[in-house]
Amino acid sequence: MKEEINEKTTEKQKDEDAHTVFIGLKPFMNYVTGIVMQFTTRGATEVNVKARGKFISRAVDVAEVASKRFLENQIKVDNILINSEEFENKEGRTVRVSTIDIKLKKV
């Protein structure tokens, strides 16, 4: 959990005012409604759904449910990027983790 919070802080600095939702351990619908709110009440025209490692599957689920069920014909998946991050774990071993960035956009 600590790592997720740290990541959130750094990413927030990088993204500044961008509308970004980081997928983690919260209840599934928190993320979906978070995205819907960004588009409907906070005037976002683009929202980035980001996740790392095992949360990538969840990010895809969240993006699909938001764009196909809640905001059908209003938003669409605009672009998807995948990448890798490398870092040293506690034992000093280099660990690679995959990341995803799904850009949702107003139609």
The residues that touch a copy of itself, with contacts defined as CB under 8 A, are 53-57, 60-61, 63-65, 68, 77, 80-84, 96, 98, 100, 102
Q: How far does the chain reach from its first CA to its final CA, in angstroms?
A: 35
Are 56 and 25 in contact, with CB atoms under 8 Å apart?
no
- Least distance (Å) between residue 80 CB and a copy of itself: 4
Closer residue to a copy of itself (CB): 27 or 43: 27
Closer residue to a copy of itself (CB): 20 or 67: 67
Which positions ≥6 away from 25 have C-beta within 8 Å?
1, 4
